[in-house]
Structure 1
Amino acid sequence: MEKEKVLSIKDLSISFNTSSGKVDAIRGVGLNLYKGETLAIVGESGSGKSVTMKAVMGILSSNGEVNSGSINYFYYRNKEKVQVDILKISKKEMRKRINGKRIAMIFQDPMTSLNPTMTIGSQIMDGMIWHYKTPKKEAQKKAIELLELVGINDAEKRMKNYPHQLSGGMRQRVVIAIALACNPDLLICDEPTTALDVTIQAKILELVKDIQKKMNISVIYITHDLGVVAKVADYVAVMYAGKIVEKGTIDEIFYDPRHPYTWGLLSAMPDLDTNDDKLYTIPGSPPNLTQKVQGDAFAPRNIFALNIDNRLEPPMFKISDSHYAATWLLHENAPKVDMPAELKKRIERMLKEAEENGK
């Protein structure tokens, strides 16, 4: 059965005009997402993960400029499939037709995405009343159901609370309830567990997973935490300096990574079974994107860099039908380079663990 496409990003390039000059934040990003699937976008801070998704939501800051590309969103209206290029519709249309109603976003810090002057109940009901003209009584009933769905006890009483009266974990649950209020097809989670402690993090991730199953929605996670990725994703896109440098299924990225940057990210994950007494870090810093990047942006930090990396940008090399990586090491004429030995051992341990857990 053919998979149903929900989102298609092609050759997206975005720059920002800043006091330090023009920053080329996104440099030719391409992605596809299908119904019911979970995609995780990973990379260091500043790699362009959030900017890409803000473009999908139509909420780029005023100094942002889309230089090229398209963001096509597919949905059904009266059983007829509709395709919308998000970059070509007005902000007003975006608010009316897409935001909240079709694509919803959960931001990292619930305290800044909740209105401190409005009750929790009003904030959940708002979208239903605005998008669907839902009668107040009906909206109230659905808001209570949503609070129960996201695991908040005493939902009716909580409707009257203000954000400051709730804990961080409860506020994040409320933000999820607001995002789900209009039954969106696509949920974007921007670092949804950053401000929470580990036990609450696990509960929030489980919650999003359960809701996804019940509602058959597609989910995109933006994160730099590979532990989160391992728990939730079907597919992973690794971003570096405004480009996707590797993409594949969760198993391909975790057990058969091919890009040196992905090797670095996986090596930098804390591991109790390692023999190393130090935690691995990728040397150097990401490039300054106010200056034109010559060749491979990762080359200055890459101990496996080839001469060609300083001159030419690598294309996406195909490894399998679902696995691609942008590194000259995959070229047929490149010298054979294996991943670091410690990472190889770690992957073997991860595979063994997965087998023992029956995965």
Structure 2
Amino acid sequence: MTKKKKILKIRDLDISFKTDNGEVKAVRGVDLDLHEGETIAIVGESGSGKSVTTKAVMGILASNGVINKGSIEFTYTDLSKERIAEVTQKYDGVIPEGYAKEEEIKTVDITQQSKKFIQSEIRGRRIAMVFQDPMTSLDPTMTIGKQVMEAMLFHYKIPKKEAYARAVQLLELVGITDAEKRMKNYPHQLSGGMRQRIVIAIALSCDPEILICDEPTTALDVTIQAKILELIKDIQKKKNLSVIYITHDLGVVAKVADFVNVMYAGRIIEKGSVNEIFYGPRHPYTWGLLASLPDVDTAGDELYTIPGTPPNLLKEIKGDAFAPRNPFALKIDEKIAPPMFEITPTHHVASWLAAPNAPKVEMPQDLKARIEKNRKEANW
């Protein structure tokens, strides 16, 4: 099995926001890897730092946001206009593995680039984002066609006729029927599901290498949700896209992700393959997230909830941020933040319970029974 190319490498990323009340430490030492054609999910409660991390990748942090330290290395294929035309024509937009020449592969640290470089070379062109509410992404005063064509005209300077034909193809790719007619429509004339498809078409308009999906199905009903997730998976296979999902919905994660990163209070506290996280979780916070999922066999009238509230990131956090809510916390948790312990080469957890000399603590029996049942059903 050939090793996939790593296209995004985040190391020790630390981001804070200056506010009237003080400095909010939103992201605290995040490490993240994304390989070609892979899907990773970042999960956690609101305010855990999921969206802030990916906005830093896109270079769209709020004006009061500061990257204190760390790097975001992005490896991409930098083709000349002539090579873009050659490759697009030859492969009908589906670019095969190994098509690039060595000198066309570049690596940049996004944290060190100017806003102008990020806008012209990275955002929208090589890394694109789909937000949760399509109405905040679409301009109500512009036709759908103009909005889909806009990025192509800006980044590639191609003739309008060519951009128009490509936009129609994109609308068809994302499952919009009667695409030519829809080009003349305005956002308010379309349903929520269709608007989200349009946003995906816009994100794909410049053939990005990474697609970031920030809660892409939250505002949609369940049946449309499933169709949008299937659509993104289908396009990913066709175009060999690398995808990052930001979500709090573990049901979505189970359907789409290869690898999962669990975030809490600005840190990644557990990461592993989707099977390792769902069938062999090691962090008490991950146990709580999984236990709070509804299940047909759940006994009682109430779902499990994690006690307490997330910490105030305006205040300095000593030790493990989850310790005050953790019924299994050790004394060391109050003083020193746990490092990442390796469970397997792909599974790591930031919990002192994973230390070699730590007392053995089992996950709650109800959760253990549920995971065992799910594991048997999945034959894992």
Query: Normalising by structure 2, what TM-score?
Result: 0.93
Three-state SS of the structure 2 residue aligned to 1:171 is helix
- 1:342-357 maps to which residues of 2 (within 5 A)? 342-355=366-379
**Which of 144, 148, 156 is the equivalent residue of 2:168?**
144
Q: Mark the runs of 5 or more structure 1 residues left unpaired by the alignment.
A: none
Q: Which residue of 2 aligns with 1:127?
A: 151
- 1:77-226 maps to which residues of 2 (within 5 A)? 77-78=78-79, 79=101, 80-226=104-250
Q: Which residue of 1 aligns with 2:75?
A: 74
- Asked if residue 306 in structure 1 is aligned to residue 307 in structure 2, the reply is no
Distance of 1:330 and 1:351 partners within structure 2: 22
Q: What amino acid does structure 2 have at the position aligned with 1:62?
A: S
Once the two structures are superposed, residues 7-66 of structure 1 have per-residue CA deviations (whole angstroms, 9 ceiling, x without a partner) of: 000000000001111000000000010000000000000000000000000000000001
Once the two structures are superposed, residues 67-125 of structure 1 have per-residue CA deviations (whole angstroms, 9 ceiling, x without a partner) of: 00000000122422100110111111101001111000001110011011100000000
Q: What amino acid does structure 2 have at the position aligned with 1:121?
A: G
Distance of 2:197 and 2:154 partners within structure 1: 21
Three-state SS of the structure 2 residue aligned to 1:9 is strand
Once the two structures are superposed, residues 190-236 of structure 1 have per-residue CA deviations (whole angstroms, 9 ceiling, x without a partner) of: 00000000000000000000000000010000000000000000000
Q: What amino acid does structure 2 have at the position aligned with 1:59?
A: I
Q: How many residues align?
A: 356
Q: What amino acid does structure 1 have at the position aligned with 2:257?
A: A
Over the matched positions of the two proteins, sequence identity in percent amounts to 69
Shift, 1:352, TM fit: 2.1
Shift, 1:286, TM fit: 0.3
Three-state SS of the structure 2 residue aligned to 1:108 is coil
Q: Which residue of 2 aligns with 1:227?
A: 251
Q: Which residue of 2 aligns with 1:21?
A: 22
Shift, 1:2, TM fit: 2.4
Q: What amino acid does structure 1 have at the position aligned with 2:24?
A: V
Q: Which residue of 1 aligns with 2:89?
A: none
Q: What amino acid does structure 1 have at the position aligned with 2:40?
A: L
- 1:226-305 maps to which residues of 2 (within 5 A)? 226-305=250-329
Q: What amino acid does structure 1 have at the position aligned with 2:57?
A: V
Distance of 2:373 and 2:180 partners within structure 1: 48
Distance of 1:325 and 1:64 partners within structure 2: 28
- Asked if residue 322 in structure 1 is aligned to residue 323 in structure 2, the reply is no
Shift, 1:331, TM fit: 1.1
Three-state SS of the structure 1 residue aligned to 2:238 is helix
Q: Which residue of 1 aligns with 2:363?
A: 339
Q: What amino acid does structure 1 have at the position aligned with 2:351?
A: T
Once the two structures are superposed, residues 332-359 of structure 1 have per-residue CA deviations (whole angstroms, 9 ceiling, x without a partner) of: 221110001011111012112213xxx8
Distance of 1:82 and 1:199 partners within structure 2: 41
Query: Which stretch of structure 1 is more off in the superposition, 230-239 or 329-338?
Result: 329-338
Distance of 1:92 and 1:133 partners within structure 2: 17
Query: Which stretch of structure 1 is more off in the superposition, 275-284 or 212-221?
Result: 275-284
Query: Normalising by structure 1, what TM-score?
Result: 0.98
